[in-house]
Structure 1
Amino acid sequence: MASYASKVGQDIARWVENGLIDGETAEKLRRDVEANVRRSFSFGTVLAMLAAILLGAAILIFIAANWETIPRIARVLAVFAVIAAGYVGGAWLKLRDHPAFAEAAWVVAAAAFGGAIALIGQMYHFSGDESGAILTWCAGTALAAIALRSNPLTIMAVAIADGWLVIMLLNGFDFRSGFDIPYLYVLMAFALFLISYWTRSQPSRHLIILSLILYAGFVAAADEWDAMAIQLAIGSAVIFAAAVYASEPLDGLLQLGGRLPLHAFLGFLVGMAILQFQYDEGGGLILTAALMLAGIVAALVLAGRDSRGLRWLAYIGFTYELVWIYLVMMGTMLDTASFFLAAAVILGLLAFVIIRVEKRMRGGIAKRGTAS
């Protein structure tokens, strides 16, 4: 957000210099940007959330220690007292205009709810596995987020769902038979995405999209004929193009703060990287490497100017691709050097053409501005 404020400040200074706005309007714009930056980030809020997370973790660890010396009924009542105190106390703090501490109290209550599920299941030996307990915890946290319209509780529900996904994927891992893929997660992600609109939780939507890319990556790794990896790469490329050429309606619908191209580009890189593990020699290597490099260049040309994160992701992807080609072709240095030479020539020609086109475009815009 600070970089955004800095960029807007530079734009305002340029507008004043060019006579587009007066000094009074510029000052109003600067004050509005600064006020919104302060509201969007508060160090005190961050500390309150960290304290809540640590307190919740302490409760969970305390419960996991199994209080053998405390009567069962006392354990249950103590945990439910923490839950009630967290939710009721959070509501009281919210009414007293202490939103940061209110959200922190709700996070503690949600953590205690998860601990209560584990404690009761342990004490009374209920049938079931950890998967069902985590799903119950996620559902309860999501319902609390809806009722309280809480951004942090929505993020917590998504984090619990992501934890469930990782546990399911790791438990189902088998190099010989592939993965036991939890398809239920797609429905969970869709439901949580809808909830995030009600709770105005943009970070939750980012987490959900990233987890879906992880999910698709695991499915692609288990797919022997690479259908999912191809679908992930092509689908991400299509979404990237839509995000670039229809950015306003898509961002208005998904409300991702203009970061959909970044997510789509990441999905493309993941899909192509998985394909490269399958086609690591001959024509397959050349084709996948060429597509990867072409995708990186296209992403930089189409959206790199407006997204620093996308530029860094492109640089990381480019570095990964060079290292991968070097490792795969290590035994044939001459072929590796030839490939790098050809790639350098092609990229150099592309850079020359793009620079010439951009200069002409800027010249045409300047001429139209002078004529008007």
Structure 2
Amino acid sequence: MASYATKVKKDIDRWVENGLLDRTTGDVLVRDVETNERNGLNFGSILAIMAALLFAAAILILVAANWETIPRIARVAGLFAVVFAGYVGGAWVKGQGHSGIGEALWLVAAAAFGGSIALIGQMYHFSGDEASAVVTWCIGTAIAAAVLRSNALTVAAVGIADSWLALKGFEFFRKEQFPHLFPAFMAAFWVLSLWTQSRAARHLILLSLIFYAVMLAMHFNTTEVSLVLALVSAAVLAASALAPEPVERVVQLGGRLPLHGLIGFLTGLGILQIDLIDGDGFVIAAAVALAVIAATIIFLGRESRALRWVAYLGFAFELAVVYLATVGTMLGTAGFFFAAAITLAVLAYAIIRIERRMKPATDGRIA
């Protein structure tokens, strides 16, 4: 299967042949595509990063095994040698034009740094828990990402912060230990991602904040958190629909902000519906969810297949939840579905009428 760059270069050649572009402009575009292709990740680079992740896992497992047969100083020196070789070697390799391999070596160095923290803690029985060690590892990785302007290390720092959240949320499940500073970490990492030009890290940050809201709602057993999550996510969807270009200039997510907004809205409203499943507000929440899903598909779904699939899954989830909640009153379920069907039918009819009115005018302008 041809790559995106290959397809674009073929399109440029066709445009030049058809007279849509002059040869000079076509050559400039081809060089730009080739430059960006070299700077991106190819299949070999992806394999290198996968190998680096496996090697990193091996380092961490080796540290966890507490290899007593090797002297302490040799263990520490070996890990710091891996850290030094990974960061310095990765910088040199990346300077030679092998970006993916350089990023892979940096990931190995970051893993060795985390292993060094764990090993020193094991050997000298430092006070503190695993979560504190993970925070130190996270900060060190973020500093390395900032110095090296590394996409992969930025993503790794966010992932390590997620591990800290999971440790504090599940393993140390007490209110006074809940990681309330997590959003501050994510705000700092967002700035870092702009510096390192890591769009993948920004996507992960938004998903991490949704995960944090879910953990917060579970931890304190409150509906206010889920309601705030749903409202903020709905505001994100509205901003993406009303002012897509200014919003994209700020977030720089390649037009994928509505996807995160819809995921956050469905997550927040889903938790809220579970809390209201025996109350009168359940049906209202379900109706709001279906309305937002329909509006998202209409106004934002045309350009994003992933957004449409999330919307379809959310629609199916709403139907399933409503059915389970009203299974004892089939008449009530049928009435709700009937009202929803009429609402969507009227909305669909209005959209079809608008599209038909717009089409002739558009055709006239093209002609």
Could you tell me which of 198, 203, 211 is aligned with 1:201?
198
Q: Any idea what the Cα deviations from partners look like across 1:267-315, whole Å, max 9, x if unmatched?
A: 1111110110111135312101100000100101110111111100000
**Residue matched to 2:114:** 114
Q: Any idea what the Cα deviations from partners look like across 1:211-255, whole Å, max 9, x if unmatched?
A: 001111222344555222221111111111111221112211111
1:332 Cα deviation from its structure 2 partner: 1.8
**Residue matched to 2:20:** 21
TM-aligned CA distance change 1:93 to 1:22, over 3 Å: closer
TM-aligned CA distance change 1:95 to 1:252, over 3 Å: same
TM-aligned CA distance change 1:240 to 1:33, over 3 Å: farther
Correspondence 1:30-109 to 2 at 5 A: 31=30, 35=34, 36=36, 39-109=39-109
Alignment-mate amino acid for residue 251 of structure 2: L
TM-aligned CA distance change 1:48 to 1:23, over 3 Å: same
Residues 221 and 274, structure 1, Cα contact 8 Å, conserved in 2: no
Correspondence 1:175-324 to 2 at 5 A: 181-324=178-321
Moved more, 19-28 or 193-202: 19-28
Residues 165 and 182, structure 1, Cα contact 8 Å, conserved in 2: yes
Query: What is the number of equivalent residue pairs in this alignment?
Result: 365
Moved more, 78-87 or 117-126: 78-87
Q: Percent identity?
A: 51
Q: Any idea what the Cα deviations from partners look like across 1:319-350, whole Å, max 9, x if unmatched?
A: 00011111111122222222222212221121
Alignment-mate amino acid for residue 21 of structure 1: L
**Residue matched to 1:360:** 357
TM-aligned CA distance change 1:323 to 1:184, over 3 Å: same
1:119 Cα deviation from its structure 2 partner: 0.4
1:92 Cα deviation from its structure 2 partner: 2.1
* Gaps in structure 1 of 5+ consecutive residues: none
TM-aligned CA distance change 1:275 to 1:149, over 3 Å: same
TM-aligned CA distance change 1:13 to 1:279, over 3 Å: farther
Q: Over aligned residues, Cα RMSD in angstroms?
A: 2.9
1:353 Cα deviation from its structure 2 partner: 1.0
Q: Distance in 2 between matches of 1:51 and 1:74?
A: 25
TM-aligned CA distance change 1:187 to 1:334, over 3 Å: same
**Residue matched to 1:153:** 153
TM-aligned CA distance change 1:314 to 1:4, over 3 Å: farther
Q: Distance in 1 between matches of 2:112 and 2:178?
A: 29
**TM value normalised by structure 1:** 0.89
> Secondary structure of the equivalent of 2:250?
helix
> Secondary structure of the equivalent of 2:143?
helix
1:32 Cα deviation from its structure 2 partner: 6.5
1:21 Cα deviation from its structure 2 partner: 3.0
Moved more, 310-319 or 5-14: 5-14
Q: Any idea what the Cα deviations from partners look like across 1:181-204, whole Å, max 9, x if unmatched?
A: 311111111111111111111100
Moved more, 209-218 or 286-295: 209-218
1:90 Cα deviation from its structure 2 partner: 1.4
**Residue matched to 1:139:** 139
**TM value normalised by structure 2:** 0.90
TM-aligned CA distance change 1:295 to 1:12, over 3 Å: farther
Q: Distance in 1 between matches of 2:297 and 2:86?
A: 47
* Gaps in structure 2 of 5+ consecutive residues: none
Q: Distance in 1 between matches of 2:197 and 2:131?
A: 28
